[in-house]
Amino acid sequence: MFEEENENMDFKSFEKSPIYKKAMLIWDLAYHIAELASKTNNNSNSEFEKDLLKEYTGYIVEDASKIAPKIAGAWGSQLYDLKMENAAIIRKAARELSVHMTALEMHGFKEIDYCDLLRKEIEEFRILFAEWVKTFDPWDYIIDRWGLFNPPSVNYDDHDPDDDIPFDAADFFSGLDEFEDSTDEEEDNLED
């Protein structure tokens, strides 16, 4: 399912993926729940609970708005550590959304059917997410010197074989001079 999409990766292909579509559904549902919760005016609630309700609506919108862009970010990267970093943020945001639903209920939000619906969508998203993460190529990586997102058996303090590639800055910059000269010649030819 995901392998075909990654092989035919044009910049916008993530928008057609089931995981992205589910993320957008979660965003839409979370936004509407937050909107409903912010308008809740239950007279039995204390001012403190009303303030908490409003505060949680901000958290819901914030967390829901992280998921789809992070999917796009991971989709656009080939490096394992960057994909996993985005995946960790997605996971945290989705889990926090479930917690926020409980907090809303605890502080007087009466539309609990919507909360249950969002939890159901997050559970379906979790399965899509787990399958998607399995498609990440752990051997397309750079060493994560923070030690969080390295493939199995790669440590943050391992020697990086790329460090053995000789690099002479003078060679690099002299190549740029040749490139600039050829660009100037092409511009002169266009003017003629």
pLDDT for 145-167, tens place per residue?
Answer: 999 998 888 888 888 877 777 77
CA neighbor of 37 nearest in space, from 154, 115, 92? 115
Query: In the numeric block, which tokens belong to residue 136?
Result: 């990440």
Q: Which residue do the tokens 């909107």 mark? A: 35
Residues whose CB falls within 8 Å of the CB of residue 138, separated by 6 or more in sequence, listed in order: 80, 151, 152
Q: What is the pLDDT of residue 162?
A: 72
Asked if residues 68 and 23 have their Cβ atoms less than 8 Å apart, the reply is yes
Q: Say if residue 9's pLDDT is above 90.
A: no
Report the predicted TM-score, pTM, of the whole model to 2 decimal places: 0.75
pLDDT greater than 60 at residue 89: yes
Average per-residue pLDDT in the chain? 84
Q: Is the pLDDT at 69 greater than 80, yes or no?
A: yes
**Side-chain half-sphere of 182: how many Cα atoms within 13 Å?**
6
**Owner of token pair 């916008």:** 12
pLDDT at 6: 47
The string of DSSP letters for 78-96 reads --HHHHHHHHHHHHHHHHH
What does the pLDDT read at residue 130? 97
**For 86-116, b where at least 16 C-beta lie within 10 A, e where not — what string?**
bbebbbebbebbbebbebbeebbbeeeebbe
Spacing of C-alpha 123 from chain mean position: 17
Res. 189: pLDDT tops 70: no
**Using the 8-state DSSP alphabet, how is residue 13 labeled?**
G
